[in-house]
Amino acid sequence: METKIWVFCSTLFLCSIALHAHNLQTYIIQLHPQGFTSSSFTSKLQWHRSFLQNIISSEETPSSRLLYSYRSAMEGFAAQLSELEVESLRNLPDVIAIRPDRRLEIHTTHSYKFLGLHLGREGAWFKSRYGHGSIIGVLDTGIWPESPSFDDRWMPQVPKKWKGICQEGQDFNSSNWNQLRSAQRELELVYVKDGDTGSEYCFPGSLPEAKVHGRMVVCDRGVNARAEKGQIVKEAGGAAMILANTEINQEDNSVDVHVLPATVIGYAESVRLKSYMNSTRRPSARIEFGGTVIGKSRAPAVAQFSSRGPSLTDPSILKPDIVAPGVNIIAAWPQNLGPSGLPEDTRRVNFTVMSGTSMACPHVSGLAALVHAAYPKWSPAAIKSALMTTADVTDHFKKPIMDGNKPAGVFSVGAGHVNPERAVNPGLLYDIRPDEYITYLCTLGYTRSEIFTITHKNVSCREILQKNRGFSLNYPSISVIFKHGQTGRMIERRLTNVGGPNSVYSVEIMAPEGVKVRVKPRRLAFKYTNQSLSYKVWFVSKKMTETKTTYAEGHLIWVNSHNFYRVRSPLSVTWA
């Protein structure tokens, strides 16, 4: 009888432990950076553990809950806590903020040639010493160390300022790569359209094998993933797939890695293909690889999937800032996943073709690192200014950058397409001082405690806003919003000369339609390098009742013809 009772009690004890662990979640706790200096602890790790010691039961140790101890990017730690423990922790001294941990999913032909980078002594690479000494931080869910992208045989020694460590990943196993089958033979075409099942989009379970087996299937783009459509066709016995753009996709030609022979066609071709299929009883087609042709299309162009503005958080800051290569990029790929990204894909490759903002991001990050290597003392805002004010607004045919079938506007292209060769020699910069960021946070309505969490400073937004009426962040672009009844706005900007001494700039303006723009002064004379001068821009709205226009765009350029600098800022005006 005693044994049975003991087992029963033991089971209850284990259940209580399991339930307790189930209620724990991971939180990131941010601490005041000055808290440790005023404490009696000998190490920051010991200090971090003390917070847990105050809130957990005496039966547990702080080490059992502590996950990470942060000491560089921020002061704080990550730990597993219950909701009650979180509330107790909030009341402890030096605790600034507590945030629940979140998992964020991430989304590199020769990009450097497309961007105009070259090996000459006058190029951006040479001026930045090829990025020597820059440390690139990769935020990812994991990398494949054996990839050629991480081959360091020709790299110099790790900089002395490097303080990181290398950690191995888990469950990385290499396997074989299987080649795609050929679809060069002619196949019967089929387009299954059933509004109830979504078969035109090739949804899971929507394709009847009797209609699809051994045929080339036309699948409309949209709703489900493009690579998944191919898997659905394959599972139904299809031999190949044509991915047909719909009206919303227009002529976007993002390339995907598929599990069966496939090709993508633009919207105009899609209309012609379906017309052909309706005109004959047994339509057929074959996929032939005609070789790669470069330099024919209008590039760069804004991708259909690219993020658009205006910013919903703060329309006074033009978004996007800039565009960069992000379509059909050859990117390193891990060996524990097939190139299509589908779990059914058993092939293994070192590289694949990808598209997305996650492809544009490493391009811009690398270019920012080049600018930083050339000018180590420049602030992040100065580097952003250099990239934005030197961006291209025309493609390689010297025609306006396109967004689908129309010229790209500022809400799709921002300041333009990155030009690294010009970015390392911008002439002038729009820099931002730390105190200006605090004023900006106040204009957004942040509370005193929220600003303290970010800046570790106690400030009064009421006093700051009284001293900075009409404040506008010293940004490389200018966005103006005319609310109902408003007819005028004044914006002030400050430029810093990073070119030679005795540099004189004059202003060129293309005013947005329906707006009169006046700049004062119209001429800026910089006597020495790193000198800063300010200018003001007045925007006067004309009568808008005659038109339905809700926004307009233009630009402002400071020109130094002697040194060939053209410091361009996009202008956007919105009537709310």
Q: Domain containing 553 — which CATH number?
A: 2.60.40.2310
Does residue 94 fall inside a structural domain?
yes
Domain span including residue 515: 427-432+473-575
Does residue 13 fall inside a structural domain?
no
Total count of residues recorded for the chain: 576
Q: Domain containing 82 — which CATH number?
A: 3.30.70.80
pLDDT at 177: 28
Q: Domain containing 276 — which CATH number?
A: 3.50.30.30
Same domain, 271 and 373: no
pLDDT tens-digit profile of 185-208?
567 788 887 766 678 889 988 888
Overall domain count for the chain: 4
Same domain, 64 and 126: no
Same domain, 44 and 127: no
Does residue 10 fall inside a structural domain?
no
The DSSP annotation for 142-207 comes to: ---TTSGGG--TT--PPPTT--------SS-------PPPP--S-EEEE----TTTTGGGT-TT-S
Same domain, 195 and 95: no
Same domain, 497 and 571: yes
Query: Which residue, 415, 422, 433, is CA-closest to 557?
Result: 415
Query: Which residue, 79, 63, 2, 74, is CA-closest to 32?
Result: 74
pLDDT at 546: 54
Same domain, 393 and 326: yes
Does residue 357 fall inside a structural domain?
yes
pLDDT tens-digit profile of 562-575?
868 999 999 999 98
Same domain, 234 and 331: no
pLDDT at 524: 97
Same domain, 311 and 380: yes
Same domain, 126 and 210: no
Same domain, 527 and 567: yes
End of a domain among 67, 100, 133? 100
Same domain, 135 and 238: no
Task: Provide the 3-class DSSP secondary structure of residue 228.
Answer: helix
User: Which residues of the chain fall short of a pLDDT of 70?
Assistant: 1-22, 38, 104-110, 114, 119, 121, 137-147, 150, 154, 158-159, 161-186, 195-197, 295-296, 543-549, 563
- Please say whether the beta carbons of 352 and 337 come within 8 A: no
pLDDT at 5: 43
Does residue 449 fall inside a structural domain?
no
Structure tokens given for 241: 């797939």
Does residue 566 fall inside a structural domain?
yes
Q: How far apart (Å, rounded) are the C-alpha atoms in residues 511 and 556?
A: 8
Does residue 465 fall inside a structural domain?
no
Q: Domain containing 348 — which CATH number?
A: 3.40.50.200
pLDDT at 296: 64
Query: Which residue, 476, 478, 556, is CA-closest to 522?
Result: 556
* Model pTM score: 0.68
Does residue 166 fall inside a structural domain?
no
